[in-house]
Amino acid sequence: MDTSSNSQSPTFSCETRPVSAQTVRVTAVGELDLESAPLLEAELAAVDSEVTVVVLDLSALRFMDSSGLQVIVRANQRLREENRRLTLVRGQSQIQRLFLLSGLEPHFQFISGAGE
């Protein structure tokens, strides 16, 4: 099973924790922008190949720009190609608005913060 890991910058951090043998939860905190997007991308890329479901928790993000959105789109595409799944925990309204305005919201599975 994948072990916990943590990446951070002054305004952003993300942490990966196993939920089960097949699922990990990556929690993004702070501001996901051009400077911090590579940290999230690296964290998502480092998820063990045995994991079939990656839950990306956006609920603690205060800000996200198109750089963050691009990382999430690329991760979703890569995981689908590997027959794995990315599930997103809904973010604050300004985060969800990015998905809506970009037309990407229907292409992702969103869950509430309480769900796995």
Q: What does pTM read for this prediction? A: 0.90
Q: Which residues does 23 contact at the CB level (< 8 Å), separation at least 6?
A: 51, 52, 53, 54, 55, 116
CATH architecture entry for 5-106: 2-Layer Sandwich (3.30)
> Would you list the domain boundaries of the chain?
5-106
- Please measure the distance between the N-terminal and C-terminal CA atoms of the chain and give it in whole angstroms: 17
Q: How far is CA 105 from CA 5, 12, 44, 69, in A?
A: 28, 23, 20, 11
pLDDT tens across 16-73, in order? Answer: 999 999 999 999 999 999 999 999 999 999 999 999 999 999 999 999 999 999 999 9
The whole-number average pLDDT for the span 100-105 is 95
Asked whether 16 and 25 are in contact (CB, 8 A), the reply is: yes
Confidence of residue 81 (pLDDT cuts 50, 70, 90): very high
Task: Tell me which residue of 18, 17, 3, 70 sits closest to 41, measured CA to CA.
Answer: 70
Beta bridge partners of 86: 54
Alpha-carbon span 95 to 63, nearest angstrom: 7
